[in-house]
C-alpha cells in the first residue's frame, strides 16, 4: 500500500474521530458514546471507511438532487453517513436523523479546519 494513501486514511480516521467527539460534546445527549474513547475511535474508523467507500456511490446516485439544491443536499448525505455509522455500530447512539445531519455539519467543519491547517504546514 502506498504510504501517502495510508497517511491520508489515518488523517481521515483521526479527523472523523475528533469530529465525532466534538459533535457529541456540543450536541449533549443527542449523540451518546457512553464516555468511552474506544467507541469514538472505532466509530471514527467506521466513518472514515464509509466516507471512502459508500459516500462516493451515494454522491453519484444523488447527483441530480445535489445539482438541483446547488450542493446543499451534500449536508443530507453527510448526515446520512453519520446516521449509517450509528446504525452499524450500536455503542454509538444517535437520537435521530436530524441530529446526525447536525453532527455531519460539525464533522465537516472540523475536517475543513484540520485540512486547512495541514495544507498550511505543507507550504
Q: Which domain does 96 fall in, by range?
A: 3-122
Counting the structural domains of the chain, the total is 1
For residue 60, what pLDDT is reported? 97
Q: For residue range 66-123, what is the model confidence (pLDDT) as tens digits?
A: 999 999 999 999 999 999 999 999 999 999 999 999 999 999 999 999 988 888 887 6
Q: For residue range 11-60, what is the model confidence (pLDDT) as tens digits?
A: 999 999 999 999 999 998 899 999 999 999 999 999 999 999 999 999 99
DSSP the chain: --HHHHHHHHHHHHHHHHHHHHHHHHTGGGEE-TT-HHHHHHHHHHHHHHHHHHHHHHHHHTHHHHHHTTTTHHHHHHHHHHHHHHHH-TTSEES-HHHHHHHHHHHHHHHHHHHHHHHHHH-
Record the pTM: 0.90
Amino acid at each position: 500500500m502506498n504510504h501517502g494513501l495510508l497517511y491520508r486514511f489515518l488523517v481521515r480516521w483521526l479527523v472523523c474521530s475528533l469530529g465525532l467527539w466534538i459533535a457529541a460534546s456540543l450536541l449533549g445527549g443527542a449523540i451518546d458514546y457512553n464516555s468511552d474513547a474506544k467507541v469514538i475511535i472505532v466509530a471514527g474508523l467506521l466513518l472514515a471507511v464509509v466516507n471512502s467507500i459508500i459516500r462516493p456511490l451515494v454522491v453519484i446516485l444523488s447527483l441530480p438532487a445535489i445539482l438541483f439544491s446547488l450542493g446543499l443536499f451534500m449536508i443530507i448525505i453527510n448526515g446520512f453517513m453519520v446516521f449509517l455509522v450509528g446504525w452499524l455500530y450500536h455503542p454509538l447512539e444517535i437520537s435521530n436523523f436530524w441530529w446526525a445531519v447536525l453532527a455531519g455539519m460539525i464533522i465537516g467543519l472540523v475536517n475543513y479546519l484540520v485540512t486547512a491547517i495541514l495544507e498550511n504546514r505543507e507550504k
